[in-house]
């Protein structure tokens, strides 16, 4: 299979929806499902596939419903990703695997850990958002005003959120076309660590490709993610019974550190890693060690 073929594969979900996925790294490596952020898609990955090979992993990414080339599942909950991940794993003949998710992918990785625990070896939730409406977490505290505004639209419902995200996506497309380092624009109060990642040429190359695919798919995946995060996730964290790492950046203003701290306290047995000098993006050069842990536990 050519690299182009591996980066766009399609199967039917149990209900007939089209699911688009990609494979990266070592075809014979340990399988790791990497669940993208919000917004995002299957093309969000490390620019240098040799890093996955070095880590000994076969990485599988997919477009959540409504993103890229996957059909929309209107009204989906976070837990609904479980059936899609299982369908892709079954199609590929993969029985056991690890799962990781960053940002908006974080809750989805926890859902897979909770509901496919007999098949999941290890899981990671990186800079993942916590459930909304908790008594012991001020969900918006420390969050950049731009993100607060976006989730306020989500709380008002699809009729408000859709036109706003359509405008946001159009603006993003124009910014990335001019300079991928300007993915988020100038209005966000990002830490210098995140700004440094955005300035990297290798990161920018992936941003260009992934944004173009995001634009082709439209806003529906983004819409459904945002709304899903403000509603019950559909599973209980107490269901998780396998090794989980909860990782977050102390300087994150997109998903504030308090979210990661809450997840660290509430995911059973979680190992918590606080990156004191990092924001939301994390260190791209640490990908080998992070993927190797998912494969080997070391």
The pLDDT tens digits for 94-109 are 999 999 999 999 999 9
Residue 3 binned pLDDT confidence (cut-offs 50, 70, 90):
confident
- Look at the chain and report how many structural domains it folds into: 1
The pLDDT tens digits for 155-193 are 999 999 999 999 999 999 999 999 999 999 989 999 999
Tell me the average pLDDT across 265-276.
98
Residue 257 binned pLDDT confidence (cut-offs 50, 70, 90):
very high
Q: What is the pLDDT, as a whole number, of residue 2?
A: 83
My answer on whether omega of the bond before 39 falls inside 30° of 0, hence cis, is yes
Residue 4 binned pLDDT confidence (cut-offs 50, 70, 90):
confident
The secondary structure of 97-131 as a DSSP string is EEEEEETTHHHHHHHHHHHSTTTEEEEEEESPPPP
Nearest-5° angle of CA 233, CA 67, CA 273?
Answer: 50
Nearest-5° angle of CA 31, CA 236, CA 244?
Answer: 40
Residue 132's domain spans which residues? 3-296
* DSSP three-state, residue 174: helix
| CATH number of the domain enclosing 214 | 3.40.50.1820
Q: What is the pLDDT, as a whole number, of residue 237?
A: 98
Q: Distance between CA 9 and CA 258 in Å, rounded?
A: 37
The pLDDT tens digits for 27-78 are 999 999 999 999 999 999 999 999 999 999 999 999 999 999 999 999 999 9
């Amino acid at each position: 299979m050519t690299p182009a073929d591996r980066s766009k594969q399609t199967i039917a979900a149990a209900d007939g929806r089209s699911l688009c996925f990609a494979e990266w790294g070592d075809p014979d490596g340990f399988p790791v499902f990497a669940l993208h952020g919000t917004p995002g898609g299957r093309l969000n990955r490390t620019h240098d596939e040799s890093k996955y090979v070095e880590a000994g992993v076969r990485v599988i990414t997919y477009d959540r419903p409504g993103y890229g080339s996957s059909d929309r599942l209107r009204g989906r909950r976070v837990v609904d990703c479980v059936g899609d991940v299982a369908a892709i794993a079954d199609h590929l003949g993969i029985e056991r695997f690890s799962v990781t998710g960053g940002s908006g992918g974080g809750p989805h990785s926890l859902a897979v850990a909770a509901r496919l625990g007999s098949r999941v070896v290890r899981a990671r939730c990186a800079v993942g958002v916590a459930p909304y409406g908790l008594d012991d977490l001020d969900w918006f505290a420390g969050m950049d005003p731009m993100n607060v505004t976006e989730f306020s639209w989500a709380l008002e419902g699809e009729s408000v959120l859709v036109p706003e995200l359509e405008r946001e996506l159009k603006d993003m497309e124009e910014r990335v076309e001019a300079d991928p380092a300007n993915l988020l624009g100038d209005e966000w109060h990002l830490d210098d660590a995140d700004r440094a990642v955005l300035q990297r040429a290798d990161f920018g190359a992936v941003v260009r490709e992934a944004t173009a695919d995001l634009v082709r798919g439209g806003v529906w995946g983004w819409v459904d993610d945002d709304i899903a995060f403000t509603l019950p996730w559909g599973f209980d964290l107490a269901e998780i019974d396998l090794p989980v790492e909860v990782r977050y950046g102390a300087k994150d203003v997109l998903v504030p550190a308090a979210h990661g701290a809450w997840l660290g306290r509430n995911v059973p047995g979680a190992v918590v890693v606080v990156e004191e000098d990092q924001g939301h993006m994390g260190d791209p050069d640490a990908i080998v060690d992070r993927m190797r842990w998912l494969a080997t536990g070391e």
